[in-house]
Amino acid sequence: MRDGWPCLLFAVACWSGFAHAQVSFPTKPVRFVVTSPPGGANDTLNRALGAKLMEFIGQPVVIDNRPGASGFVAAEIVAKAPADGYTVLTGTEATLVTNPLLFPKAPYNTQRDFAPVTMTAAVNHVLLVHPSLPATSVQELIAVARSRPGQLNYASSGTGSAFHLGMELFKRMAGVDIVHVPFKGSALSVGAMLAGDVQMMLIGTATGLPLARSGKARALAMASAKRSPLAPELPTIAEAGVPGYEISSWFGAVVPAATAAPVIAKLHADFIRALRSPDLRERLAPAGYEIIANTPQQFSAHMLAQTKRLASVIREAGIRPE
């Protein structure tokens, strides 16, 4: 962790207990700069969150969709914005962790340019296999893969995607050799697996679980750290034979690095109130969103841990952006 984050997070912690009394914030609209176009997963989450947040802060929340360049456009806008708490980057694990690893010349540095507010939500992944593959569990899949090194393949929505990195992490931790077949988007990758052109994939629960329940694919396990309430019968990959394995797609809010600690504390408190609203959880749960709502310190620690883990995966797998 760079020197600035520990001091900032300590200050946020100190201020959090009385931020409401000390900070007159916000007094004007708050802008969410979203890395995806309207209708994307990040957009859907933050439109719902922004609407709920308005109820607590008494100010409009403006959704500013700035897709493009793997999230670089949105991130650079926020990195250069006034550090007053009114411009929030609603980023993803790709924006804040993966892309800076894949693109060394990225126009921002997550630790240098941003201060964490909270991880808002996560979308869990499910490990699917084609019904023709003789594996009904993770252990059986590993056994088949070890008996046929380099002969099985898996689909992803693109090189460097969360699904790609998740499968590379699985290969590394399970000690198997499975060939990556990248596609341009989830629709094409799912279609290839359903056709039997590839044998397996990681995919979000909103897409993967209905496919499994229809019999078009077989769900073996969840990639998350704990079982999903959407499919409590499915073990996690860690439970099913790869201890310590965990990966998901997540979303989080950050602000320009120089934002005052009391403002971050006030913003964090308001985010948490909105995220913990039962009606927001009920609205987002069917689409596979799991509300996280952690502290800036926890969010920082998660990003740093994931950066270390994925940097190793990217380096050992020789992953380069297309």
Q: Tell which residue, 35, 61, 58, 106, has the closest CA to residue 249.
A: 35
Looking at the structure, give the CATH architecture of the domain made up of residues 4-122+248-317: 3-Layer(aba) Sandwich (3.40)
What is the CB neighbour count within 10 angstroms for residue 269? Answer: 18
Q: So where are the chain's domains?
A: 4-122+248-317, 124-222
Q: Write out pLDDT tens, residues 86-129.
A: 999 999 999 999 999 999 888 999 999 999 999 999 999 999 99
Overall pTM surpassing 0.85 (yes/no): yes
Q: Are 156 and 180 in contact (CB under 8 A)?
A: yes
pLDDT for position 24: 85
Looking at the structure, give the CATH architecture of the domain made up of residues 124-222: 3-Layer(aba) Sandwich (3.40)
pLDDT at 15 over 50: no
Q: Are 288 and 281 in contact (CB under 8 A)?
A: no
pLDDT at 283 over 50: yes
Q: What is the arithmetic mean of pLDDT over 125-147?
A: 97
**Cα(173)–Cα(277) distance, rounded to whole angstroms?**
37
pLDDT for position 66: 95
**Cα(117)–Cα(269) distance, rounded to whole angstroms?**
9
- CA dihedral angle for residue 49, residue 45, residue 263, residue 258, rounded to 10 degrees: -160
